[in-house]
């Protein structure tokens, strides 16, 4: 089977960087938009091919998700030999359980939709929940960008710094950073009030006079980072905080919130399109080399163990 890197409209630049790293062309799907908002992608010329569809489902999440489903179906109907959905940022991953009666479990519904559209396999990077893989009947390769981001951070890290998990869900991620950077972990206990408001209630660990590196899987409204940084400063952390996250969505008031904080560095990856165009001094670590290595090996049926991670 020939290797083909395909994409829709969600992140052509990333697909093209991945293709270049693999010495391949990018197959750009034509996506027609009907006046009522319906999408109609066309993906011809993939008969018998091993197709990797690169499409993060960041904002507008629902459009990018539906486009992904239709792209997978288009590849399948065009006779592709194998279809892998490459979804570096997986929208709806935060809906992995019900917090109250009457809610849906969005992650499971999206998982079922991707598999039923015809994907043979999924590739994701640092999804919000480790449970994601178990929601799929098809194989899921969960890659991590932590090593790549840690390499970006390392030259400016001092031995007195601490890695901060801004909530309990980020503890495993923080431990991975701490191990790569040779630092210890401090934990913030956070309560989420709603989609854009959180309360950082307690700090477990010592930060007095120390530089803090706050790590998370994603920054959406910026509420989690803002609350964590303010709690760190209240507890005497040095006012030159570093923030690192795999996925920078920067929605709503995120830019204004983060701009007010004394951040020395703000590091994210290019898992989402336009991350560098926000009015923030963002340092972007590319995930294209990670994706290219993983795709090259998956295409050749080779192991990818050292690229795997989890939330």
Shortest distance in whole angstroms from residue 30 CB to ligand R5P: 33
* All residues at 6 or more sequence positions from 133 whose CB lies less than 8 Å from its CB, including other chains: 140, 142
Catalytic option among 64, 190, 210, 299:
190
Closer to ligand R5P at the Cβ: 220 or 285? Answer: 220
What is 57-114 written as a DSSP string? Answer: --SSHHHHHHHHHHHHHHHHHTT-SEEEEEESS-TTTT-SS-SSTT---HHHHHHHHH
| 32 vs 193, beta carbon nearer ligand R5P | 193
Residue number with CB closer to ligand R5P (192 or 265): 192
Query: In this structure, are residues 180 and 309 in contact, taking their beta carbons and an 8 Å threshold?
Result: no
| 260 belongs to the catalytic site | no
Q: Which is nearer to ligand R5P, 17 or 129 (CB)?
A: 129
Beta strand pairing call for 241-248 and 140-143 = unpaired
Q: Is 107 exposed, middle or buried (0-12, 13-18, 19+ CB in 10 A)?
A: buried
- The contact set with ligand R5P (CB under 6 A) reads 94, 128, 166-167, 169-170, 198, 216-224
Q: Rounded to the nearest whole angstrom, what is the least distance from the CB of residue 305 to ligand R5P in the complex?
A: 25
- Least distance between ligand R5P and beta carbon 286 (Å): 22
Min separation Cβ 254 and ligand R5P, Å: 6
Residue 18 vs 178, nearer CB to ligand R5P = 178
User: Beta strand pairing status for 197-204 and 140-143?
Assistant: unpaired
What is the closest distance, in whole angstroms, from the C-beta atom of residue 93 to ligand R5P in the complex?
9
Active site residues: 190
């Amino acid at each position: 089977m020939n290797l083909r890197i395909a994409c829709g409209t969600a992140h052509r630049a990333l697909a093209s960087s991945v293709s270049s790293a693999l010495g391949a062309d990018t197959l750009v799907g034509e996506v027609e938009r009907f006046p009522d908002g319906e999408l109609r992608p066309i993906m011809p010329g993939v008969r018998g091919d091993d197709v990797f569809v690169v499409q993060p489902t960041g904002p507008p999440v629902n459009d990018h998700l539906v486009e992904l489903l239709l792209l997978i179906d288009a590849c399948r109907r065009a006779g592709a030999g194998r279809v892998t959905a490459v979804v570096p940022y997986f929208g709806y991953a935060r809906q992995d359980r019900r917090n109250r009666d009457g809610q849906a479990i969005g992650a499971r519904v999206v998982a079922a939709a991707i598999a039923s559209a015809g994907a043979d396999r999924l590739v994701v990077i640092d999804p919000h929940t480790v449970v994601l893989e178990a929601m799929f009947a098809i194989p899921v390769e969960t890659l991590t960008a932590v090593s790549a981001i840690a390499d970006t951070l390392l030259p400016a890290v001092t031995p007195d710094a601490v890695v901060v998990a801004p909530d309990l869900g980020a503890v495993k991620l923080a431990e991975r950073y701490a191990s790569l950077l040779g630092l210890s972990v401090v934990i913030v206990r956070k309560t989420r009030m709603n989609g854009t408001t959180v309360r950082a209630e307690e700090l477990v660990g010592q930060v007095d006079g120390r530089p803090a590196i706050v790590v998370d899987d994603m920054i959406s409204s910026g509420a989690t980072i803002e609350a964590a940084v303010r709690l760190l400063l209240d507890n005497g952390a040095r006012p030159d905080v570093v923030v690192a996250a795999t996925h920078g969505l920067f929605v709503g008031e995120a830019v204004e919130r983060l701009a007010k904080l004394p951040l020395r560095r703000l590091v994210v990856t290019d898992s989402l399109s336009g991350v560098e165009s926000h009015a923030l001094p963002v340092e972007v670590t590319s995930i294209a080399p990670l994706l290219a290595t993983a795709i090259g090996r998956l295409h050749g049926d080779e192991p990818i163990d050292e690229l795997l991670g989890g939330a």
